[in-house]
Structure 1
């Protein structure tokens, strides 16, 4: 006589498990099987006329069961199919409440190809051009009805060249900015067979080429000994300066607005160079105090002495103690260049005198001025500056705002105070070790216990944890060590542990610290010799479409679940991810289930897998690898 199926399950489990455990698991499997059967009966007994939006699923209650289903990737509105539970890709199939899957999101209109929601030229016309306010972030509000669609790629788009070839060459079709090409036609840019062959520098900023320019700078600034690791380049153009500093193992945050040249930052990112849209206007730059080892401006046309020195005060805020400010172009070397700049000697001399005077009042020391390059250095502490402030007629020291806070925070006409120091020879906030030791050394902010509850032991443990996690990621993204990915974003960077673990690959990482984070850790990220920015992920990032190869999202969706629609965050990820890019979304299994359902609407090629903690841990990964998608899936 045949044994009942439930008894068969119990008999099989008895071979492997102790009695109480096997009975519990047998009941769980039996309940799941009954749910599946009942759902199948429901599918074939009911018609499916429409595709209403699928309600979000809350955490399952004990004893509650749902059919284990995954929409077929070949047809988002076709019949649902079961995946075998022994399949690695189906280790965590989606939980459905019986409702049909919502339809995929449509493509936006063709004129959205280069859409930047918070730097939209149409929206910026609503704002004053005074102080370049119109160039700042102006994100769509509730009344703007931002489109819920996928940004199309331009005709003829091709996968970017691999690094390091991309630094000097990129496909013109990927960044078809005719206006930029016309502006640069006399600067050694050559279009050949659809390619832009870029010979970095020449023309506007680097008359003799960027290589010569940086070599001359290295005679005045210590670029080779690891003292300078992080650089801010204001008015970066296409980031040739930052690209060449990579040869010195220096990482540059290249910043420029979306201006008349349209796509300079987009072109920089296409070349595999760190860059983002930004401008010195009325708000602080989105970086913490004491971030950069050096700030640079080459003909960036910023009125440094204007607005009572507001912009130099902002540079002072983001420079670390002892950091360097490098200025070239007007008014430096005005005696030899005034005719070329079509300015009078008197005008340029007065401008440089005003800059020199303000630098002294900030207690900066002029290091040198040779040819077209002038260098100043910020003091290592404020003991002397505070003592001599009346004599120097220095601006007052800020007292109302946190110098690290920089998200829609207005700049102030005051000096951001450095941490207190008792001895004139000491560096305020602690000394930074030279690169590359800086990457894994205890950051001074942690050693000083500036963040409550964060210790050196916690920092070291987190670094080891991320090394283990990144090694686990390799199993799912086999191209990671092979150079396929260059531009990487970490949406919730913490201490920068993910970026530190990724440093063994030929990548750079934009470390993003959400303004909603419990702790402001971006200063720690910079003290490790990494770069990043603040961000509210309910808004769009300050970059162009198709600019990142790999996005890492750790706990982002749990963080923002009750703040904004998580589909909006996924649409933004889709906007900035390159067509054949990848993403790793790490979160609690209940959140991952919801994100997977929405990710299918974007036609992402994704699967849910275990984290390095194994099958019994609630934290899971959603692995997105669009390189395996067919052309039709991301057309």
Structure 2
């Protein structure tokens, strides 16, 4: 073995190459070429199917030819550069529906479409008469079959944060369009596995013409919506089969078929102990009970599905759907809210979450929670010394790869950003706390690829991620995934032990990132350091430029 003299530096590692140009929109776990291997039954082929280690590509994803710096928020809600998302399939197939148009070099989002024939603003205003969107009671919303997230974009005006979800289907760029607009979105599908969110997460779930057979599949899809809805949460269904008497001819279906479908949904919702609060025009609203006291007593009369036997109600990473009702936490009185009362937004931001005050999160107390908030406020101030735009308008889509209690997102809540709070499956399950604070997020194993398109996040924060995965997978694979989802002009802060930071820096240099190691807010004698990456000055060169 040849040893280098101590005075000479080690040989530099070779740069990581760019992938071929046909990898521009590569989504490793939702790869359309791999999904052909899997059954199409119940859309299983559109679930996450990640490549095996020997199938992984170790190259950087090139940006499209002509890529431009993304349109800043809030202008991005209305238009984006076509060169950044050069998919004509969606614009051509939907050009008559007024929900996305190509005008010169711009993609324009008018907010129309078959779901919103009079525009999403009119639709949202009608819904605000049926659901308390303005009071702060509804803060987190799940939008299934979101299209280009026009509904989520409209709810921003109500200070509501929407997780927009759609599969990578024939209109393959819809989630990519949503993120290019600066709106939260993920690739996802109701099929075989639970949605990657904890129980009791969302204040409202919404489906507009998503064409899901809610009463089919032994009711498991609607029971999954029930699982992720908080006690007292709202389920809103619009489009087929709602208002079928007036619309069935335009839908190309028989009145009898649509009537049977709606009756089946009504029956299942009743057996789930939901209460239908209103049906007006194309919109129907149900409400989940605030506890299961009555439901348990009347389950035999209602012929309700069984209550789930499992105790890990928040587990949702590759966990199979079940045809059973997720039991709410026990209460003593009929007027109590199972799991605890949530404050209205914005008080919810700083109120101690019920999961913490009840002692259900191991090792976390009210004091821990308040101290964590103080720590992250201090850290964000320190970060701004290195990346000043963190408090400005340059960044909109932000990811926290190891979100903990959501303190990073809380410290940024005063700025025009949204944060995808990721809780690694290898850590203490705190994602329910994050939702109780009024934020959104997902579970994730960072040895795999995230359910998003390339170039969809402006800023990535990774606190102790590499220490967590050091013995589980290769540093290079995690960095390549960060590089895939980071916009070319984006920034990264990696926070970790100095020894780990040194190893990560060597590999990051292979990506040609503009990065440097600096001290954290505690100064030079602390063993935790920061790797600052700021690519905002010059766009990294790539194939296809």
Smaller-chain TM-score bracket: over 0.9
Whether the aligned pair in 1 keeps the contact of 2:91 and 2:101 (CA below 8 Å) is no
Q: Does 1:127 align with 2:38?
A: yes
Instruction: Compute the displacement of 1:277 (Å).
Output: 0.1
Whether the aligned pair in 2 keeps the contact of 1:360 and 1:392 (CA below 8 Å) is yes
**Helix, strand or coil at the partner of 2:33:** helix
Give the Cα separation in 2 of the matches to 1:330 and 1:632.
Answer: 48
Aligned counterpart in structure 1 of residue 207 of structure 2, from 297, 307, 328: 297
Q: Does 1:510 align with 2:420?
A: yes
Give the Cα separation in 2 of the matches to 1:558 and 1:203.
Answer: 46
Aligned counterpart in structure 1 of residue 155 of structure 2, from 225, 245, 266: 245
Whether the aligned pair in 1 keeps the contact of 2:454 and 2:485 (CA below 8 Å) is yes
Deviation digits for residues 269-327 of structure 1, max 9, x if unmatched?
00000000000001000000000000000000110010121101000000000000000
Alignment match, 1:620: 529
Give the Cα separation in 1 of the matches to 2:400 and 2:305.
Answer: 37
Whether the aligned pair in 2 keeps the contact of 1:605 and 1:628 (CA below 8 Å) is no
Give the Cα separation in 2 of the matches to 1:177 and 1:231.
Answer: 28
Q: Does 1:404 align with 2:314?
A: yes
Give TM-score scaled by structure 2 length.
Answer: 0.98
Whether the aligned pair in 2 keeps the contact of 1:439 and 1:529 (CA below 8 Å) is yes
Whether the aligned pair in 2 keeps the contact of 1:266 and 1:547 (CA below 8 Å) is yes
Give the Cα separation in 2 of the matches to 1:562 and 1:251.
Answer: 35
**Helix, strand or coil at the partner of 1:340:** helix
Whether the aligned pair in 2 keeps the contact of 1:605 and 1:629 (CA below 8 Å) is no
Counting only pairs closer than 5 Å after superposition, residues 334-353 of structure 1 correspond to structure 2 as: 334-353=244-263
Alignment match, 1:313: 223
Alignment match, 1:528: 437
Alignment match, 1:475: 385
Q: Closer, same or farther in 2 for the Cα pair 1:630/1:510, shift >3 Å?
A: closer
Bigger drift between 445-454 and 624-633 goes to 624-633
**Helix, strand or coil at the partner of 2:460:** strand
**Helix, strand or coil at the partner of 2:211:** coil
Whether the aligned pair in 2 keeps the contact of 1:233 and 1:295 (CA below 8 Å) is yes
Aligned counterpart in structure 2 of residue 161 of structure 1, from 71, 77, 97: 71
Give the Cα separation in 2 of the matches to 1:577 and 1:632.
Answer: 14
Alignment match, 2:24: 113
Alignment match, 1:255: 165
**Helix, strand or coil at the partner of 2:189:** coil
Q: Does 1:602 align with 2:511?
A: yes
Aligned residues: 539
Give the Cα separation in 2 of the matches to 1:632 and 1:415.
Answer: 52
Give the Cα separation in 1 of the matches to 2:325 and 2:377.
Answer: 39
Aligned counterpart in structure 2 of residue 182 of structure 1, from 88, 92, 97: 92
**Helix, strand or coil at the partner of 1:445:** helix
Whether the aligned pair in 1 keeps the contact of 2:18 and 2:542 (CA below 8 Å) is no
Whether the aligned pair in 1 keeps the contact of 2:42 and 2:191 (CA below 8 Å) is yes
Instruction: Compute the displacement of 1:630 (Å).
Output: 5.5
Q: Does 1:579 align with 2:488?
A: yes
Alignment match, 1:548: 457
**Helix, strand or coil at the partner of 2:210:** coil
Alignment match, 1:453: 363
Give the Cα separation in 2 of the matches to 1:630 and 1:113.
Answer: 16
**Helix, strand or coil at the partner of 1:339:** helix
Counting only pairs closer than 5 Å after superposition, residues 10-159 of structure 1 correspond to structure 2 as: 39=6, 42-43=7-8, 98-143=9-54, 145-159=55-69
Give the Cα separation in 2 of the matches to 1:469 and 1:147.
Answer: 35
Q: Closer, same or farther in 2 for the Cα pair 1:631/1:384, shift >3 Å?
A: closer
Whether the aligned pair in 1 keeps the contact of 2:149 and 2:183 (CA below 8 Å) is yes
Deviation digits for residues 5-29 of structure 1, max 9, x if unmatched?
xxxxxxxxxxxxxxxxxxxxxxxxx
Give the Cα separation in 1 of the matches to 2:240 and 2:273.
Answer: 22
Instruction: Compute the displacement of 1:142 (Å).
Output: 2.9
Q: Closer, same or farther in 2 for the Cα pair 1:624/1:361, shift >3 Å?
A: same
Instruction: Compute the displacement of 1:184 (Å).
Output: 1.6
Counting only pairs closer than 5 Å after superposition, residues 586-597 of structure 1 correspond to structure 2 as: 586-597=495-506
Deviation digits for residues 547-584 of structure 1, max 9, x if unmatched?
00000000000000000001100000000000010000
Give the Cα separation in 2 of the matches to 1:504 and 1:601.
Answer: 35
Instruction: Compute the displacement of 1:147 (Å).
Output: 1.0
Q: Closer, same or farther in 2 for the Cα pair 1:577/1:631, shift >3 Å?
A: closer
Whether the aligned pair in 2 keeps the contact of 1:119 and 1:135 (CA below 8 Å) is yes
Instruction: Compute the displacement of 1:203 (Å).
Output: 2.6
Alignment match, 1:231: 141
Find the structure with the greater CA-based Rg.
Answer: 1
Alignment match, 1:206: 116
Instruction: Compute the displacement of 1:633 (Å).
Output: 7.5
Alignment match, 1:416: 326
Instruction: Compute the displacement of 1:401 (Å).
Output: 4.5
Give the Cα separation in 1 of the matches to 2:120 and 2:366.
Answer: 40
Tell me the C-alpha RMSD between the 2 structures.
Answer: 1.1
Q: Does 1:278 align with 2:188?
A: yes
Instruction: Compute the displacement of 1:191 (Å).
Output: 2.2
Q: Does 1:562 align with 2:471?
A: yes
Counting only pairs closer than 5 Å after superposition, residues 436-451 of structure 1 correspond to structure 2 as: 436-451=346-361
Aligned counterpart in structure 1 of residue 266 of structure 2, from 353, 356, 367: 356
Highest RCO, 1 vs 2 (Cα 8 Å, sep ≥ 6): 2
Whether the aligned pair in 1 keeps the contact of 2:399 and 2:421 (CA below 8 Å) is yes
Whether the aligned pair in 2 keeps the contact of 1:364 and 1:378 (CA below 8 Å) is yes
Alignment match, 1:70: none
Give the Cα separation in 2 of the matches to 1:193 and 1:328.
Answer: 33
Instruction: Compute the displacement of 1:225 (Å).
Output: 0.4
